[in-house]
Amino acid sequence: MADSVLELKAVDRRYVQGPKELVILNGADFALRSGEMVALVAPSGAGKSTLLHIAGLLEYPDGGDVVVNGTSCAGLPDEQRTAIRRSEIGFVYQFHHLLPEFSALENVMMPQLIAGLPPAEAKERAAQLLAYMKIGQRAAHRPAELSGGEQQRVAIARAVANAPLVLLADEPTGNLDPKTAGYVFEALEALVRQSGLAALIATHNEELAARMDRRVTLAEGKVVPLPE
């Protein structure tokens, strides 16, 4: 796909469990374009998290290639993979994983400071992102003082703090009640549409999946489209 920012090409992933070999991905192909939201819908144990980890360069495939913004990552050393992951890919998980001793603002500043951005610029961008996620008024609060939905909005702001091209989300609303999940998804969708991010979102929520541009699932180790 010509304008793809993320591609999986013939990706294999297998796990050995005693005498058995468990095939998770078997020649899986997938492409994601800028500004596109794709729902990854599959039952637990089908390999959604494995696919996201491989796509996000957190895990090596047993075969095939992951191409991020035109760069083949198959033979890259850890240092280069880490650099690509830090600059091009953002992650959101089911649990927010915010640093409890820091405020919401400081949590969003953190990846920017690690990337070498001056503190004043990191603070300004963090404040803008929190305002965009409609949680700016809670910037000084620590995670324990925030609701579940507020924590997840902070996590999303942190994931895009370094302006990645790709956002990978693993059940980002899985711990939230339906109403709160809807609010969080609306904020996430607005962020993707406005910024031109490419987003692959694993979810069990069929209602949210239906609001994305397309839906895919995993079948016999391959990524296959679901009917509209």
pTM for the structure as a whole: 0.88
- Separation of alpha carbons 124 and 184, rounded Å: 22
Q: Pick from 104, 117, 226, 227: which is nearest to 156 by CA? A: 104
Ordered per-residue pLDDT tens for the chain, 228 residues? 447 899 999 999 998 888 888 888 999 999 999 889 999 998 777 788 899 999 999 989 999 999 999 989 988 889 999 889 888 998 888 777 899 999 999 999 998 998 888 999 999 999 999 988 888 899 999 999 998 888 988 998 998 888 899 999 988 887 778 888 888 888 888 888 888 889 999 988 888 889 899 999 998 889 999 877
CB 143 within 8 A of CB 135: no
- Separation of alpha carbons 215 and 208, rounded Å: 10
